[in-house]
Amino acid sequence: MDKTTSGWINGFLGVLIFSGSLPATRAAVLDFDPVFLTVARAGIAGLLALCLLLAFREKRPTIDQLLSLAIVSLGVVVGFPLLTAFALQHVTAAHSIVFIGLLPLATAAFGVLRGGERPRPAFWMFSVAGSLLVVGFALAQGLTASPVGDTLMLAAIVACGLGYAEGARLSRTLGGWQVISWALVLSLPVVLAIALVLMPSSFAEVDMPGWVGLAYVSLFSMLIGFIFWYRGLAQGGIAAVGQLQLLQPFFGLALAATLLHEEVSLTMLAVTVGVILCVAGARKFAK
C-alpha cells in the first residue's frame, strides 16, 4: 500500500472516530461543568498518553518541537474542547454541523500557512463546494441561531484547524501518536490541577449518558482518534486528507439512523453523495 492511500485510510478512521465527539460532548455537558469536562477529558487522556510514552521509552521532544506541541495543545487539547463545550450550552449538536462544515477549509488554510502545502486552484473549488453543501444542509434543517454559541463554535473551528495542521506538520518528524501524546502530557500538570479544583463534591447526580460521553471524549476524541488522524494528515497531505472532515456530520447521522432508528431522507443521501464527490475532486487536485 502506498503512502498516500495509507494516509487516506488513517484519515478516514480518524474522522469516523471524531464523528461521535460533538454528540458525546453534548451528553456530557448536561451533567458536567464545561471547564471541568475539558480538563477532565484532557487529564484522563494525558495520563494514558504518559503511560504509552513511558512504555515505549520515547525520546523527549526538542525545544523547537515543544513550541509546536504547545500550539497543538492549545488548539486541540484545550481550545476546541473548551470552546465547543461552552458553545453546546447554547446550541444543539445538530447546529454545530454548520461549523464542522467549515473545518476542512480551516485545516487546509493552516496547511498552507504552517505546512507549506500549495494545492491547485481546483482543490479550493471542490473544498468550498463541499463546505457549502454541509453548511447548506444544516441551515435547511431550520436551526435557530445563538450569537454566543455561533461565536464560540467559530473560534473553536479556527483553534482546531490550527491544531490539526501544526500537529500534522510535526508528525512528519515526531510521529503521529507521539504528537498527540506529548501534547497531552505537556498540558497534564495544568489540567489535573484545574480538574482537582473544579471537581464536584458529588457525582451522584451524573446519569449514565454523562459518564459515557466523558469516557468517549476522553479515550476516543482526545487520544485514539488523533493517532489515526495525525498519521493520515502527515501521510496524505494536510489539505487533501483534511477534506474527509466533510463526511463527519453524515457519519453522525448514519450512526443515529443505525442506533436510534432515525429516518434518513433522500435529501440527506443526495447531499452525502455530493460531499463524497467533492472530497474525491479535492483529493485529485490537492497536489
pLDDT digits over 157-184, tens only?
Answer: 999 999 999 999 999 999 889 999 999 9
Q: Which residue has the higher pLDDT, 140 or 125?
A: 125
Question: Which of 213, 268, 206 is closest to 23 using CA atoms?
Answer: 213
How far is 6 from 236, CA to CA, in rounded Å? 7
Question: Which of 95, 236, 208, 225 is closest to 160 using CA atoms?
Answer: 225
How far is 266 from 179, CA to CA, in rounded Å? 41
Q: Which residue has the higher pLDDT, 191 or 254?
A: 191
How far is 202 from 64, CA to CA, in rounded Å? 42
Residue 141, pLDDT score = 67
**Span 104-129, average pLDDT:** 91
Give residue 255's pLDDT band: very low, low, confident or very high (50, 70, 90): low
For 23, 31, 96, 102, 216, the CA distances from 233, given in Å and listed in that order, are 24, 34, 23, 17, 22
**Span 116-133, average pLDDT:** 90
Residue 199 has which C-alpha cell? 471537581
How far is 27 from 224, CA to CA, in rounded Å? 20
Q: How far is CA 71 from the centre of its chain?
A: 15
Contact 20, 232 (CB under 8 A): no
Residue 256, pLDDT score = 59
Q: Is the pLDDT of residue 188 over 90?
A: yes
Return the number of other C-beta atoms located less than 10 Å from residue 248's C-beta: 25
Q: Is the pLDDT of residue 252 over 90?
A: no
Residue entry with cell 498540558: 187
Q: Is the pLDDT of residue 253 over 90?
A: no
The share of the chain scoring above pLDDT 70, in percent, equals 92
Residue 143, pLDDT score = 61
**Span 272-285, average pLDDT:** 85
| Arithmetic mean of pLDDT over the chain | 89
**Span 196-222, average pLDDT:** 94
Q: Is the pLDDT of residue 262 over 60?
A: no
Give residue 1's pLDDT band: very low, low, confident or very high (50, 70, 90): confident
Mapped onto helix, strand or coil, the DSSP state of residue 206 is: coil
Q: Is the pLDDT of residue 22 over 90?
A: no
Residue 3, pLDDT score = 87
Q: Is the pLDDT of residue 268 over 80?
A: no
How far is 42 from 35, CA to CA, in rounded Å? 11
Q: What is the pLDDT of residues 90-105, one digit of tens each?
A: 877 667 777 777 899 9
**Span 242-268, average pLDDT:** 73
Give the CB-side neighbour count of residue 148, counting CA atoms within 13 A. 7
Residue 11, pLDDT score = 96
